[in-house]
Amino acid sequence: MTAQTLAATTLFDGERLRDGMAVILRDGAIDSVVPRPDGMAPMPGILAPGFVDLQVNGGAGLMVGAETDAAALARICAVHRGLGCAGILATLITDAPDVTARVVAAGIAAARAGTPGFLGLHLEGPHLDPRRAGAHDTALIRPMTDADMTRLIAARADLPALMVTLAPEAATPAQITALTAAGIVVSLGHSDCTLDQAQAAFAAGARCATHLFNAMSPLGHRQPGLTGAVLAGNAQAGIIADGIHVDPAALCIALRARRQGLFLVSDCMAVAGTTLTEFPLQGRRILRRDGRLALADGTLAGADLRLDRAVRVAVAAGAGPAQALAMATSVPAHLIGARAGRIAPGRAADLILLDADLNLTGIHDGAGWRPPHP
């Protein structure tokens, strides 16, 4: 069996930063982590597991939507592997039932094909609160029915992971409990719920919140809302650390309130890995300008973000480098039960190299190094 030894100035194993270590790969997988051999010159920078992104709406010029099939998911996964992601949850925003069914079928096919980088699906809607729709089409938002619940449970049986974003106003605690019991990760989002409603949904089994601060009831000193439930509770939460969706001061507050449980998401769209300056979303134009994506009226519509930048933004807001890296690797991987996000024996050799300033400089897929997409 062919062995290869990799070493950088520092190793991040998914939990902590370690100096003087090396990773031995054998046949494309991690065989062991050992002290760096004497005389071996390390690559400058940080050797880390590939990122894990639980909110990826598209890439390579494609959106997850009505035209999605297994081949499209493979293209989206491939472009994100070129952006440093070991794996992603392909994310469908609120759409019609037939589109949801098509994307679920595509996800099942991608899973059966062993598509590299495909960790499962994230269905963000349609069971949301139209008062917090954001860029979602309010005409397609609707409460969850028991038939919807049954279809989601059936889909989970054939997917490696399934996350569902819903609003407590649009689903009952009994439905949330049933989804959770089936292994679905229920995430609260696009909600104008009260603190009591949020806490009841978490008690029923919801495990996290979708893009903290965005499209949710804000923190008030008398009405803490969903934001307050997350900051004062134990549920995990994704956060878009691009300096646009969340002000750095708010990110700092979240990091101080929740030293554990936050994870980074890109919420990226079709433009990821491309030079596109606009793209269509359910018949509307999304414009890419100065690092932000928005509808013509200025409403934010996803993010133009790579996770190494999100890590840097988190560090600037007060996270330690190891904490910020974990927020982009092991924390989200653990939430969905994926084996990605750590450097340990038996794990896939999906590795990245970052420079001292946490810029992504190289990607290793077990075969060799390649540069990231621009």
CATH number at residue 201: 3.20.20.140
Domain range holding 94? Answer: 51-336
Residues 19 and 121 in one domain: no
| 3-class DSSP string for the chain | CCEEEECEEEEECCCCEEECEEEEEECCEEEEEEECCCCCCCEEEEEEECEEEEEECEECCEECCCCCCHHHHHHHHHHHHCCCEEEEEEEEECCCHHHHHHHHHHHHHHHHCCCCCEEEEEEECCCCCHHHCCCCCHHHCCCCCHHHHHHHHHHHCCCCCEEEEECHHHCCHHHHHHHHHCCCEEEECCECCCHHHHHHHHHHCCCEECCCCCCECCCCCCCCHHHHHHHHCCCEEEECCCCCCCCHHHHHHHHHHCCCCEEECCCECCCCCCCCCEEEECCEEEEEECCEEECCCCCEEEECCCHHHHHHHHHHCCCCHHHHHHHCCHHHHHHHCCCCCCCCCCCECCEEEECCCCCEEEEECCCCEECCCC
In this prediction, residue 18 has a pLDDT band, given cuts at 50, 70 and 90, of very high
Residues 21 and 108 in one domain: no
Model pLDDT for residues 84-133, shown as the tens digit of each residue: 999 999 999 999 999 999 999 999 999 999 999 999 999 999 999 999 99
Residues 257 and 356 in one domain: no
Mean pLDDT of the chain: 96
**Whole-number pLDDT of residue 1:** 58
In this prediction, residue 174 has a pLDDT band, given cuts at 50, 70 and 90, of very high
CATH number at residue 355: 2.30.40.10
pTM over 0.75: yes
Model pLDDT for residues 232-289, shown as the tens digit of each residue: 999 999 999 999 999 999 999 999 999 899 999 999 999 999 999 999 998 899 999 9
**Whole-number pLDDT of residue 373:** 85
Residues 131 and 8 in one domain: no
**Whole-number pLDDT of residue 3:** 87
Residues 55 and 8 in one domain: no
Residues 30 and 135 in one domain: no
As for how many domains the chain has, the answer is: 2
Residues 135 and 28 in one domain: no
Residues 249 and 366 in one domain: no
Residues 189 and 312 in one domain: yes
**Whole-number pLDDT of residue 366:** 83
Residues 85 and 137 in one domain: yes
Residues 146 and 277 in one domain: yes
Residues catalogued as catalytic = 267
Residues 204 and 316 in one domain: yes
